[in-house]
C-alpha cells in the first residue's frame, strides 16, 4: 500500500470514528434523538415484517397461478403430441427422425410469438428408463442440460404420469436464467416400444418482473413511511422536549446566579403547570438564597468587626498577663499557676483571633498573593526542623520523601508554609501515629506536597468534612489540644487562592493523607497531581529521616 493510500485509509477510519462518537454522544444527550431513532427502528422492523409477509403472499399467488396454467397447457400439449405420433406411420429411422423434428416444430409454432414456453425432447429411453448413450436431444432452443433437473428425469423414466417442478431456464450463451416451471411426461411411438421424454419449460420472467416491481414499490413506500413516522415523532417529541430544554437552560442560569430567570408559561396543560411549579420553586429559592446571602454577610461582618474590636482589649490584657507571668516567681503556688494558665489561654485566644481575621479576609475577597519562587522540599525541611522537638515529645518520627530534586513553584511562601505547618501539626497531635511522612513530587505542570500518617485514620465521609470551619472529628479530645478548628479551612482557602487543590484521604486504622497540589506557574490550572491521593503502603528508597 502506498503512503497516500495509507493516509486515505487512516482519514476514512478517523472520520468513521468521529461519526460514531457524534452519534453516540447525540444518543446519550438527546431524548428527542432517542425517541426519533427508536421510532424509526421499530417502524422499520414492523414495515419490514409486513412487507415481507405481503411480498410472500404476492409471490405465492403469482407462482401458483403460473404453475396451474403451465401444467394445464403442458398436459394439453402432451395429449396433442401423442395423437400426432399415433397418426404417423413410422417405418424407417430417417422417417422417424423427421417425424420427431416436425413434432418439435409443431409444438414450438403453437407457443406464439414471443414464445411462452420452450420444448425439449429426449430419447429414446433405454429399457431401464434412462436416456441411452445413443439417444439424442431435440429442443426449440439451445437449452443447457442442467435446465432439466435430474430428479424430474428420474421421475418421468419410472412411470408415464405427468410430473413438474421448478428450475431455471438456462440457455447457452451469456443470457439471464429466469425461474421457470418445467413439466414432463413420456411419449410412446406407435411402432415398437420406443419411449421419449417430452418437457415443456415455461419461463416466469413476467412474474419475476412483477414481483420485483411490487418489491420496489413496497421498499419505497416503507422508506417513505418510516421517514414520515420519524417526522411525526420529531414534531410530537419537540412539543414535549422544547419546554424541558428551556427549563434546563433556565436551571443552568439559576445555578450561575441569575436568580431572576423564569419560564414562559402558556396554556393550561401539564407542561404549563410544570412551568408554573418551576417558577414557584425558582422564586422560593431566590427568596431563601437572598436571605442566606444577607445572613452570611451579617455573619461575616460580625466576625470581622468583633475580631478587629477585640484586638485592642486583648493587647491590653496581654500586657497585664505578661507582667503577671514575669512576676509569677513571687506569687504563691496557686496564684503562679493561675498566671501560667492565663498566659496559655491568651496565646490560644490570639491564635483564634488571627484565624478569624484571616477567614474574614477570605470572605471579603481581600486575600492577596505575594508570588515568589518557592521550593516545596525546602519548606518541608523547615517545617520538620521547627516541629522536631514537638514530634519528639509526642513520640512521632518525621520523614521527608522526595522523588528527586527540588520542586519549585510560583506561590506565596508564607501561605504555602502555613499549609504545611497545619498539616504536620495536625498529624502530630491528632493522628495517634508513631511515624509521619512528608512526600513531595512534581512533573512538567504541577507539584504536590502530601502529609501521610499511619494512625487512627478517617471515618467514611470525613475526608470532605475536615475542611469545614470549626469541624472536629472528636470535639472532646481536640479541645484539650487547643485546636481552633479553622486550620484546615484556612489551608483549603490558601490552596484555592493559588489555583490548586487540598484533598484528604483516610481509612479507619490505616491512617490518613492530605495532599496539596499546586501549578508550577502562577495563574495556571491544575489538571492532575504527580502524587496519588490514595497513598502507597511502602516507604520508597532514598527517604531522609530526621
387-426 confidence digits (pLDDT tens): 888 888 888 999 888 876 788 999 999 889 999 998 999 8
How far apart CA 109 and CA 102 sit, in angstroms, is 10
513 vs 253 pLDDT, higher one: 513
What is the reported pLDDT for 46? 92
Grid coordinates representing 195 are 419411449
Question: Is 512 in contact with 428 (CB distance < 8 Å)?
Answer: no
What is the reported pLDDT for 420? 92
How far apart CA 366 and CA 369 sit, in angstroms, is 10
Most confident of 10-19, 99-108, 397-406, 421-430: 421-430
β pairing state of 435-442 and 397-402: parallel
How far apart CA 395 and CA 391 sit, in angstroms, is 6
Strand, helix or coil for residue 452? strand
β pairing state of 544-545 and 435-442: unpaired
473 vs 150 pLDDT, higher one: 150
Per-chain mean pLDDT for the chain: 81
Grid coordinates representing 426 are 495536625
Whether residue 252 has pLDDT greater than 70: yes
How far apart CA 376 and CA 447 sit, in angstroms, is 8
In percent, the amount of the chain with pLDDT more than 70 equals: 87
Average pLDDT over residues 354-368: 72
235 vs 125 pLDDT, higher one: 235
Q: What pLDDT, in 10s, does the model give residues 332-350?
A: 888 888 888 888 888 777 7
Whether residue 36 has pLDDT greater than 70: yes
Sorted by where each starts, the structural domains of the chain and their CATH numbers stand as 88-203 (3.30.450), 262-367 (1.10.287.130), 372-545 (3.30.565.10)
How far apart CA 483 and CA 479 sit, in angstroms, is 6
What is the reported pLDDT for 545? 35
Whether residue 541 has pLDDT greater than 70: no
Most confident of 20-29, 285-294, 295-304: 285-294
Whether residue 327 has pLDDT greater than 70: yes
For the ranges 156-160, 168-172, 339-343, 479-483, the lowest mean pLDDT is seen at 479-483
Q: Buried b vs exposed e over 415-425: b needs ≥16 C-beta within 10 Å? A: bbbbbbbbbbb
Most confident of 3-7, 54-58, 236-240, 318-322: 54-58
What is the reported pLDDT for 45? 92
- Class of residue 529 by CB neighbours under 10 A (exposed 0-12, middle 13-18, buried 19+): buried
Q: What pLDDT, in 10s, does the model give residues 444-461?
A: 889 999 999 988 888 888
Calculate Rg over the CA atoms of the chain: 49
Whether residue 542 has pLDDT greater than 60: no
Q: How confident is the model at residue 540 (pLDDT cuts 50, 70, 90)?
A: very low
Strand, helix or coil for residue 366? coil
Question: Is 86 in contact with 190 (CB distance < 8 Å)?
Answer: yes
Nearest to 458 by CA among 479, 485, 436, 427: 427
Average pLDDT over residues 137-151: 82
What is the reported pLDDT for 544? 39
Amino acid at each position: 500500500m502506498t503512503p497516500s493510500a495509507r493516509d486515505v485509509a487512516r482519514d476514512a477510519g478517523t472520520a468513521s470514528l468521529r461519526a460514531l462518537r457524534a452519534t453516540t454522544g447525540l444518543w446519550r444527550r438527546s431524548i428527542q434523538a432517542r425517541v426519533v431513532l427508536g421510532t424509526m427502528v421499530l417502524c422499520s422492523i414492523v414495515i419490514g415484517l409486513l412487507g415481507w409477509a405481503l411480498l410472500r403472499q404476492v409471490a405465492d399467488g403469482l407462482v401458483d397461478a403460473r404453475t396451474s396454467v403451465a401444467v394445464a397447457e403442458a398436459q394439453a400439449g402432451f395429449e396433442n403430441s401423442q395423437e400426432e405420433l399415433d397418426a404417423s406411420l413410422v417405418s424407417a429411422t430417417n422417417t422417424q427422425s423427421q417425424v420427431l423434428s416436425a413434432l418439435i416444430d409443431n409444438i414450438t409454432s403453437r407457443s406464439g410469438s414471443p414464445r411462452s414456453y420452450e420444448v425439449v425432447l429426449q430419447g429414446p429411453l433405454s429399457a431401464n428408463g434412462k436416456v441411452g448413450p445413443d439417444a439424442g436431444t431435440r429442443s426449440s432452443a439451445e437449452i443447457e442440460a442442467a435446465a432439466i433437473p435430474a430428479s424430474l428425469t428420474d421421475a418421468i423414466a419410472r412411470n408415464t404420469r405427468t410430473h413438474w417442478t421448478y428450475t431455471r431456464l438456462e440457455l447457452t450463451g451469456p443470457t439471464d436464467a429466469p425461474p421457470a416451471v418445467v413439466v414432463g411426461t413420456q411419449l410412446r411411438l406407435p411402432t415398437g416400444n420406443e419411449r421419449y421424454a417430452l418437457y415443456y419449460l415455461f419461463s416466469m420472467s413476467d412474474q419475476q418482473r412483477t414481483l420485483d416491481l411490487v418489491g420496489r414499490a413496497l421498499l419505497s413506500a416503507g422508506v417513505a413511511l418510516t421517514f414520515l413516522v420519524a417526522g411525526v415523532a420529531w414534531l410530537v417529541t419537540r412539543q414535549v422536549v422544547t419546554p424541558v430544554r428551556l427549563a434546563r437552560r433556565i436551571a443552568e442560569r439559576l445555578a450561575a446566579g441569575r436568580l431572576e430567570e423564569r419560564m414562559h408559561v402558556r396554556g393550561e396543560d401539564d407542561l404549563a403547570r410544570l412551568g408554573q411549579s418551576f417558577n414557584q420553586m425558582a422564586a422560593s429559592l431566590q427568596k431563601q438564597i437572598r436571605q442566606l446571602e444577607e445572613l452570611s454577610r451579617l455573619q461575616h461582618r460580625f466576625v470581622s468587626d468583633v475580631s478587629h474590636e477585640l484586638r485592642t482589649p486583648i493587647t491590653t490584657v496581654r500586657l497585664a498577663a505578661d507582667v503577671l507571668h514575669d512576676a509569677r516567681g513571687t506569687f504563691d503556688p496557686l496564684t503562679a499557676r493561675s498566671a501560667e494558665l492565663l498566659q496559655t489561654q491568651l496565646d490560644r485566644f490570639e491564635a483564634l483571633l488571627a484565624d478569624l481575621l484571616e477567614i474574614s479576609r477570605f470572605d471579603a475577597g481581600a486575600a492577596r498573593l505575594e508570588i515568589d519562587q518557592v521550593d516545596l522540599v525546602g519548606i518541608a525541611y523547615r517545617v520538620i526542623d521547627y516541629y522536631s522537638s514537638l514530634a519528639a515529645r509526642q513520640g512521632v518520627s518525621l520523614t521527608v520523601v522526595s522523588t528527586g530534586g527540588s520542586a519549585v513553584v510560583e506561590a506565596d511562601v508564607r501561605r504555602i508554609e502555613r499549609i504545611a505547618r497545619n498539616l504536620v501539626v495536625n498529624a502530630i497531635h491528632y493522628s495517634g501515629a508513631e511515624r509521619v511522612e512528608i512526600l513531595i513530587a512534581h512533573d512538567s505542570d504541577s507539584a504536590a506536597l502530601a502529609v501521610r500518617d499511619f494512625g487512627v485514620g478517617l471515618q467514611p465521609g470525613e475526608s470532605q468534612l475536615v475542611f469545614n470551619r470549626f469541624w472536629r472529628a472528636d470535639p472532646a479530645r481536640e479541645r484539650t489540644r487547643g485546636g481552633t478548628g479553622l486550620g484546615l479551612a484556612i489551608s483549603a482557602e490558601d490552596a484555592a487562592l493559588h489555583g490548586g487543590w487540598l484533598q484528604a484521604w483516610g481509612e479507619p486504622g490505616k491512617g490518613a493523607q492530605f495532599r496539596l497540589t499546586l501549578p508550577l506557574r502562577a495563574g495556571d490550572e491544575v489538571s492532575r497531581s504527580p502524587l496519588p491521593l490514595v497513598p502507597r503502603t511502602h516507604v520508597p528508597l532514598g527517604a531522609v529521616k530526621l
